[in-house]
Amino acid sequence: MLFFKIFHRSYIPTLFEGFDISVNRDTNIIVNRHFSFRQPQPYSNCVEDIGSYNSAFSHVFVDNNIKYSQSFCYNYCFQRVLAERCGCYDTSFTLMKFVDRPCTSFRDFTCLLSEYEIFARENIVSNCSIDW
């Protein structure tokens, strides 16, 4: 199996995005590009300038010229879970390290996969409050 992701250069893909492709088989892939924009307050709960917040989370976007996305928030939340429960960070997403040790051992990967299954099964929206 191959794992496949396509993303815009200003977007950081997460472990929650992409799909598997079987090897030695014909595979057709159709790609669409979609943009959506939300109006800032008072028309929604969105803010126009994420840099107006002074927090570690908002600085990740500003300092790395990354556009905010919901999946990025979920990955941020998952990295916090890994740090707390496994004591390591996922090396595929290095912008936010809550601990200094990457997940590299068999024990780390076992913990990472176990926590990912739990994270995906639970209501991740309610468990991912972010201090702006």
- pLDDT exceeds 70 at position 66: yes
User: In sequence order, which residues have a C-beta less than 8 Å from that of residue 24 and are 6 or more positions away?
Assistant: none
Instruction: Decide: 103 and 111 in contact? Cβ < 8 Å.
Output: yes
| 43: Cα separation from own chain's centroid | 26
pTM over 0.85: no
Q: Compute how many other C-beta atoms are within 10 angstroms of the C-beta atom of residue 62.
A: 13
Query: Who has greater pLDDT, 132 or 107?
Result: 107
Give me the torsion for CA of 100, 106, 111, 113, rounded to 10°.
Answer: 110
- Mean pLDDT value across the chain: 76
